[in-house]
A and B are shown apart, each in its own frame.
Chain A
Amino acid sequence: MLEVSGLRVASGAVIRVDGLDLSLPERGCIALLGPNGAGKTASVEAISGLLRKAAGRVIFDGSDVTHLEASRIVRRGMALVPQLRELFPNFSVHETLLAGSHAARGRSAIPFDTVYDLFPRLAERRHQLAGSLSGGEQQMLAIGRALVSNPKAMLLDEPSAGLAVGIFRAFVNALRRIRDSGVAMLLVEQNLEIAAALADSCIVLAAGRVVWRGSTRDATSSEEIRQAYFA
């Protein structure tokens, strides 16, 4: 579904990502791990087209999307839930979903009830403005907005960041259901627990390079990985 080869991202003289290869199968789920500054966000933003200056190749669903901008990539079915969510403060929950569904134009629509089903708290707040939602609700809305674009693959950048501990469980379950419904997922996470709950295999980045590939279970028990975080 998603083939990334030799991805290199630089900002000015600093190389943020140095040769990332990644293969995400249809319906698969891979976690991209690593400490802050490892290049995880730069990677997913480059793959999804938000970051335009990248070298390498990105093949999605059979076509080369390396140099396309984000609005065109999302219309082809690759949705990004960015780290900062990037919501519209003055839009209600419902209107945000309307905006997100614009990307599904020309393909079949996803009913909003799918989102409300996954996140009942959003259903209760259909007409509330996005800017007044709590952190967790905003995260749910960002995921919902990506969902209604009818994606074949979803890239999520630290979806658990800033979430209150109490809703972790419900959150992980919702993400699991999305994964099980057939959407391929690339999950960027700092939190090993969440990564392990959702993805079987993972890639660990440090300072822009891949330092480890394998199963998530092995990663959580590896001392090497710990070191990578503290180096």
Chain B
Amino acid sequence: MSSGRLRAVMGAIAPSAVLLAIAILGLLFDTYWQYVFAISITAAVIGSALAMLVGYARCITIATGAMLAVGAYGATIPIVHGSMPFLAAVAAATILGACAGWVLAVPGVRFRSHNLAMITLVFQAVVIIVLRESKTLTGGAEGMHVPPPVILGISFEKDADFLLLSAALYALAVVPMTVLLAGAFGKNLRALASNENAARAFGIDVRNHLIAAFTFSSALIAFAGAVSAPRFRIIDPDSYGIFTSIFTLAYPIIGGMGSIWGGLAGGGILRLIPELLRPLADYIELIFCVLVVATLTFFPDGLASAFWRGTTRRHRVKPGASFTARAIELAPMAELFAATQALGAAAPGRRGGDPILAVERASKSYGALRAVDDVSLTVQPCSLHGLMGPNGAGKTTLFNIVSGFVAADSGNVRMSGTLLDRIPLEARIGLGMTRTFQHAAVFERLSCLDNVIIGLGRNGIAQGIVRSVGQAFANADSRSERRAAQAALAAVGLGVRKDELAGALPLGDQRRLEIARAIVSRPRIILLDEPVSGVSVEEARRLRELLLAINGQLGIAMVVIEHNIGFLSSLCQRISVMSQGRILAEDDAASIIADPRVRHVYFGEQEAAA
């Protein structure tokens, strides 16, 4: 096995190994501590599940207690009333948990923040009420006796046996979660939590990803509920109430929001504290609240992230130290070409044929304001087209219509003849359209490399899962992706920064990162929204060279919004000028600068003729 593959596989099973190691360690202690360790690793597993939902996707969920109950009762009821074998019952409970997560998420993810929290609260309350009222099945408020686990005739009644059994089961169950969190699926979740618009523009369907996150998370939580139930001997609805849901939230928050280790550590350690600090039992809950609020205030990424470097290195970047002698390297463009061929990219665009982009009489109004008024625009393949106009002229709205963020009130947008109005925003990257944003919309908490890998656009749910599994084995496909992303970063001059967090980069580098992300999928057209706004004159010059190289060597058409007239005229063959929502003029660069109507809009040199 190559070293890269070995490292990947080791990474996938490391959390499981730690859980097993803790269990084996527990054998050295007495039965009380074995009980405590069993509770602690259960909490660690809950923490790891919440790392996905709360840490990565930044969803507030107050339904954890209910999910644990679904697992606990979902296993115990078949065992007690149906004589189902233990392992089968745990499996059934896990599936039930997944279904519950799905049922909660489908209506829930239409909302974010407080409304989502409310929906989870509804779920939590309803589950507890149902459990309390179904006396025949669940024993009602008095609870239900849980027999010790029996597998193949062996009873795991002793604490030591139970500790080892639960650790073994948890070790298995945590592997898929580790793989998903470390892999493409986890990266996509963090991307959508970081910048939802950019995530959607590169093919990440936010709704589906959140539903999947809820489903996987709930399945693992239910699993933990099912496996831990026997040790409690008796389960009752109130031990899975709202306080449980709220306190488990603390696990990823304090432990660390950015990795599975944060969830594991947060759960494992926080659950141990009440046992270790017996004399302070009364004050424990208050201490927790103070800890959580303090962590949110001072360590927004969790305590663990503050101490551990995790998997990405963080460097302090000196602003200004970036560009002194970095010329645009054209060679890596060929490297990018080759690397993306391996992923199945199309041949570079050729001139001629249907316009790559045709906007026909598009209009969009917001109330009384006509943001875009009967605008038509045609972009030829492989060409560079500029779009300029004073603030408020409607340029970004037009981009939003073309890229799918906003639906036009009337008019059409076609790409190579294909009508785009039925095609959702997330699917447009598949057609070969990418974009950059006015305020550099990079995924701040991901590394530059990860940002660009997302730019490849292979971000469907199933695709994300398959790729995550592949990445755990460092398979050929995942290596090709990394190679393509590295080539794109090198092409924009960011090769050395591939492992740095995008949020730590200075603005000019972030703009380059956006360009790298936009080109790695070898699109046929890129929409660039103010790519040189806020950068120095030198940097603007370099970005111009970069864009010309991209256009020349990869045959990618571009539409560029800019205020910097000099930049636009030296880059674009044709320029359209917008004012007050309408196209004022469209011509080649030299004619536009001399056009009296354009000069009036900018300088007010003479009153308009009529």
Contacts and interface: CB of A to CB of B under 8 A. Distances in A.
A and B touch in the complex (CB under 8 A): yes
Contact of B604 (A83, A191, A231): A191
Nearest to A10: B319
A13 B607 CA distance: 40
Contacts of B534: 11, 14, 16, 37
A35 interface: yes
Contacts of B605: 192-193
A161 B391 contact: yes
Contacts of B392: 161-162
Interface in B558-610: 563-566, 569, 580, 593, 602-605, 607-608
A11 B535 CA distance: 11
B506 interface: yes
A194 B534 CA distance: 27
A44 to B, nearest CB: 15
B325 interface: no
Nearest to B390: A161
Given A37-B563, A230-B565, A230-B566, A190 B367 contact: no
Contact of A165 (B319, B536, B607): B607
A193 B604 contact: yes
A99 interface: no
B507 interface: yes
A36 B319 CA distance: 23
A12 B319 contact: yes
A132 interface: yes
Nearest to B320: A13
A164 B607 CA distance: 11
Contacts of A173: none
B533 A192 contact: no
A190 B507 CA distance: 26
A205 to B, nearest CB: 14
Interface residues of B, number: 29
A134 B607 contact: no
B1 interface: no
B563 A231 contact: no
B28 interface: no
Interface string A131-158: 1101100000000000000000000001
Contact of A83 (B368, B391, B565, B566): B391
A55 B607 CA distance: 40
Contacts of A135: 369
Contacts, number: 70
A162 B581 CA distance: 10
A192 B604 contact: yes
Contacts of B319: 12-13
Interface string B419-458: 0000000000000000000000000000000000000000
B563 A194 contact: no
Given A14-B534, A165-B607, A230 B367 contact: no
Contacts of A207: 536-537
Interface string B309-323: 000000000011000
Contact of B368 (A14, A132, A165, A193): A132
A47 B565 CA distance: 28
A229 interface: yes
A168 B605 CA distance: 13
Nearest to B369: A135
Given A13-B507, A161-B391, A162-B390, A37 B602 contact: no
B70 to A, nearest CB: 45
Nearest to A164: B580
Contacts of A16: 534
A79 B275 CA distance: 61
Nearest to B534: A14
A16 B507 CA distance: 13
Contacts of B391: 36, 83, 158, 161-162
A229 B390 contact: no
Contacts of A83: 391
A161 B506 CA distance: 31
A207 B537 CA distance: 8
Interface string A154-182: 00001011101100100000000000000
Contact of B533 (A37, A131, A191): A37
Interface of A: 11-14, 16, 35-37, 83, 131-132, 134-135, 158, 160-162, 164-165, 168, 190-194, 207, 229-231
27 contacts: A11-B534, A13-B319, A13-B507, A14-B507, A14-B508, A16-B534, A35-B564, A36-B391, A36-B563, A36-B564, A37-B533, A37-B534, A132-B367, A132-B368, A158-B391, A162-B392, A162-B580, A165-B607, A190-B602, A191-B604, A192-B605, A193-B604, A194-B604, A229-B603, A230-B566, A230-B593, A231-B566
Given A11-B534, A16-B534, A35-B563, 18 more contacts: A13-B319, A13-B507, A14-B534, A14-B536, A35-B565, A36-B563, A37-B533, A37-B534, A83-B391, A132-B368, A158-B391, A161-B391, A162-B390, A165-B607, A192-B603, A207-B537, A230-B565, A230-B593
Interface of B: 319-320, 367-369, 390-392, 506-508, 533-537, 563-566, 569, 580, 593, 602-605, 607-608
